Every structure is written in C-alpha cells, then in structure tokens.
Amino acid sequence: MIFTSFEFVFFFAIVLLVRSALSNFSAEKWFLLGASYVFYMSWSIPCVLLIIFSSLIDYHIGIRLGRIENSAHRKGLLFLSLATNLGMLGFFKYANFFIDTAGIGLGLFGINLQSAHYAIILPVGISFFTFQSMSYTVDVYRRQILPTSSLRDFLLYVSFFPQLVAGPIVRAASFLPQLAKRVRATTSDVKIGLAQFLQGAVKKTVISDQIAPHVDLIFASPGNYDGFTLLLGVLGYAIQIYCDFSGYSDMAIGCARMMGFRFMENFQMPYSAVTITDFWRRWHISLSTWLRDYLYIPMGGNRHGFRRTHLHLFATMLLGGLWHGASWNFVFWGALHGVALAVHKAWSAWKPLGELNAFPILKFVSTQLSRVITLGIVLLGWVFFRAQSWSDATEYLFRVLTWTSDGTRMISPYILAALAGVCLVHLILPKDRNWAHEIARRSVPVCGLSYAALLFLLVCFGATDSAPFIYFQF
C-alpha cells in the first residue's frame, strides 16, 4: 500500500473520518496505533512483530534509565538498547554481506569455505524505525528528554504510519509532546498538507516513475551504450532518486500535517547546493542531522584537532553509506562523500582564494564553479549508488569519462523533460522556502488553481504503474 495508490487514499480517508468521530483522546491514539500496524502489515504481517519487539525493549529501557542514577548501570542499559537495535539491523540487512566478505577474506589466505547465502527477508523500513527507536534511548540516557510513561504513545511514536517505512526520521523530542495533548488540523494545516501531498505525488508519478524504466534500461547494461547516453542515464537517476525520495517525504509530511502533526522537512532543493557540505544540509536532512547528533559529535566532532575532525567526517559518512545497503558500492559512495566533506572543510579553513570574493565577477565565477564541482561529486556517487555491481559501476564510469562512441545512443525524451523541469524549478523558486507553504498563503482562487494544476499533472501525465519507492529497500 504505497502513498500513490488508491488503496492508500481510501485507507487515509477512513483514518481521517474515524479519528474525527472519536471523542475520547485515548481511544484516538489507540486507533492511530492500530491503523499504523495495519498499514505496515500491508507490506509484511510477520515483520510487524519486529517493530513491536524493538519498541517494547526500548520503552522499558527508557523507563529504567529514568529511574537509575548509577552511571555503570545506565551505560549497560544503553548498550543493551544499541545491541538490540543494531543486532536486528545487522542480522536482517548485513548477515549475507558479512558472510560473503569473510569468505573472500579467508580465501586470500588459502582457506576456501563453501559459500552460504541465506534467504533472509529484509523488513521494510527497518533502517528507519530502528534508528528512530534507538535515538529515543540515547536522548533519555543523555537526559535530553524525559522517558515517556505511556507505552501506547511510545509504540505510536515508533510506528506512526506516514513516516514508518521511509522516514523522515522523527525525533522523540519533537513527536512525543504532540501526543501529550489532542491536536487537530487547522484550515492552514489542511491546505499546506494537501499541497505538500500533491506536490510529492507529482514528483513521484509524473517525474520519477516516468523516467525509471529508461534509467533502469541504461544501468542494466552500461556496456551497450555510448558516453552521451550513459551521462544522460546518471543525470536521469539523479532526478529519479531525488523526486522519488523527496516525493515520499513530501507525502509523509503532508499526511501528518493534514492530521495536525508536524514533521521536519527532509529536502531543500539539494541540487542547488554550492558545496558538498551545503548538499548534505539539503539532502535527507533527517538522516544527516541524525548522523551528526548520534555519530559524528559522539566521536568527537571537531573538538580534537584538524586531523581527527577529518577522520570523524570520513567515518560518519562511511557508516552512513553502509546504512544504505549491504554492498561495497554503498561503502564507496559513503567514503566518497566523507572524503569530499573533509576536503571541503580543509579548503574552507585554508581559504586560498578568499581575497577574490572582494570582486563580484570573480566571486560569481567561483560560486558557479563550486556548484559544478559539487554536482560532479554527487553524480559520481550516484553511479556507484545505482549500479548493480562494482564492475558495472567502474565500466559505467570509464565509458562516460572516455566519452566512448562505441555503443547505442538512446535519447530519452522523458529524462530530458524531467531534467529541464527540475533544473527550472531549482533556478526559479527560492532555495530555502517551501512551495506548499507558499500556496497556503495565497488567495482562495490561487490555491484552487494550484491544486487543480497538480491534479491535472497527476491525471494526465502520471505513470499508470506506480513503482515502489526506492528507499523502501533501505
């Protein structure tokens, strides 16, 4: 049951109607919890037990952390929470990867073991709900929040259906207080939420789903296409993954907003970034801030000197790459961004061209060159992120860099149109303002025309077969 399906629209309409009819606040929260589990069970019935198990463990650990003062005992409870969540994540997501890697490593020493690959079902959204649950116990351990005494509220926090399977990663400090009192959507909330949901649906069905078959075709056999087609393919994938993932985030945020709940924004026109650091302030914001607060800063952040800071950046992004999937392609993708962030930090501290900023023309040229370099790093990373194997990624990259003419040239009008549209939006619209919020501030006729335009795009240009969201696999 994906957001762009009629089944979800029907499900969400029932949730809104029943919730509005319930007069008891406690019954309302139990209903939302049940609806969230039903939503997840549309993907997998057995795996809902995993969410419940993880939630129960962290809820009781949080209660104990709130009562115990002994430092050693508190650290032991935190370790138990981390071991439980990371253990589940490691088993379901990385067991085969570690087994295969260990087999290759032993093979280098002449020890040949019979390869084993287990048919482990990856629960949808496990990376998201484990990170969300784990952050709660860390915040309670740090005494940044008080543990909730309501098991129901905590279960709902972990499993709330709009963000359950692909984020954004919601913090307990922002969501649990919203469950403390009954919230109802205002007229402004409904207008903003509806605009954001429709905006996300357009991104997903009109752009991402339409170009996905062409991108898949190019990446399936990079040796069959020339350099221009391969460049078009990676540009197409950059647009596809952005519109797919930010589209999901928009719809999740919009659904919550129409119920009166607030989630943080997850994307802010990332391809307009001037630097790689700026890119990560705009791309998957809930994950990048999570990695900063729960990994980079605890490692030491920038508190232990120049070299250690670079090492912390690299390690954080390396683990962030591994979070995305059990593959050396993802490890390289994370390492690439880690190196790029470290280099940018060093360059910013050095400032060899700082005096040139006094000249407007040179500053403009420098800024645009920085944008091009940033986009080049991002596109290089997308090749490894999307390729089916390491050999496919290297072949893909080699054929683009050598601009090979040996192969078929395929010019996709869908990719070209999507590329033109996304570039135009990034150039015209303000970089740090939300378009859905802009609609809500306009007059009724303008709002009506905006909604009608979005619906027109969905009906006339939306893909008939909506594919699962890319980040469901993470």
Residue 17 in this model has a pLDDT that exceeds 90? yes
Does residue 381 share a domain with residue 422?
yes
Residue 260 in this model has a pLDDT that exceeds 90? yes
The answer as to whether 180 is a domain residue is: no
Does residue 232 share a domain with residue 374?
yes
Q: Which of 133, 151, 174 is the last residue of a domain?
A: 174
Q: Which of 141, 174, 207 is the last residue of a domain?
A: 174
CB half-sphere exposure, 118, CA atoms < 13 A: 12
Does residue 358 share a domain with residue 225?
yes
The answer as to whether 179 is a domain residue is: no
Look up the domain containing 51 and give its range.
6-94+122-174
Average pLDDT estimate for 67-76: 92
415 in Cβ contact with 235 (< 8 Å): yes
Residue 111 in this model has a pLDDT that exceeds 80? no
| Catalytic hit among 324, 337, 426, 437 | 324
Does residue 77 share a domain with residue 204?
no
Average pLDDT estimate for 36-46: 88
The answer as to whether 61 is a domain residue is: yes
pLDDT band with cut points at 50, 70 and 90 for residue 104: low
The answer as to whether 104 is a domain residue is: no
pLDDT band with cut points at 50, 70 and 90 for residue 284: very high
Q: Which of 174, 207, 242 is the last residue of a domain?
A: 174
Asked which of 55-59, 377-381, 464-468 is least confident by mean pLDDT, the reply is: 464-468
Tell me, what's the pLDDT at 110?
67
Does residue 285 share a domain with residue 356?
yes
Does residue 192 share a domain with residue 170?
no
Q: Tens digit of pLDDT for each residue in 348-359?
A: 877 776 666 777
- The question of whether 324 is a catalytic residue gets the answer yes
Q: Which of these, 120, 262, 245, 284, lies nearest to 186 by C-alpha position?
A: 262
The answer as to whether 68 is a domain residue is: yes
Tell me, what's the pLDDT at 47?
84
Q: What is the pTM of this model?
A: 0.90
Q: Tens digit of pLDDT for each residue in 410-453?
A: 999 999 999 998 888 877 776 677 777 778 778 888 888 888 98
Helices 209-220, 227-258: crossing angle, 10 deg rounding: 140
**CA angle (185 as vertex; 181, 189 as ends), nearest 5:** 130
The first and second tokens of residue 113, run together, are 């073991």
The answer as to whether 107 is a domain residue is: no
Average pLDDT estimate for 137-150: 94
Does residue 211 share a domain with residue 167?
no
Question: Cα–Cα distance between 320 and 376 in angstroms, integer?
Answer: 20
User: Total structural domains in the chain?
Assistant: 2
Does residue 207 share a domain with residue 275?
yes
Tell me, what's the pLDDT at 91?
82
Average pLDDT estimate for 34-48: 89
Does residue 198 share a domain with residue 148?
no
Does residue 256 share a domain with residue 291?
yes
Residue 56 in this model has a pLDDT that exceeds 80? yes
Q: Which of these, 91, 88, 62, 78, lies nearest to 298 by C-alpha position?
A: 78
Question: Cα–Cα distance between 251 and 465 in angstroms, integer?
Answer: 18
Average pLDDT estimate for 354-366: 76
Does residue 196 share a domain with residue 225?
yes
The answer as to whether 270 is a domain residue is: yes
The answer as to whether 281 is a domain residue is: yes
Q: Tens digit of pLDDT for each residue in 214-228?
A: 999 999 999 999 999
Q: Output the CA–CA distances (angstroms, integers) from residue 242 to 145, 257, 281, 338, 470, in the order listed.
A: 33, 22, 14, 20, 10
Does residue 462 share a domain with residue 438?
yes
Question: Per mean pLDDT, which of 34-43, 104-113, 230-239 is the most reliable?
Answer: 230-239
What percent of the chain has a predicted confidence (pLDDT) above 70? Answer: 93
Residue ranges of E strands in 90-142 = none
Tell me, what's the pLDDT at 307?
77
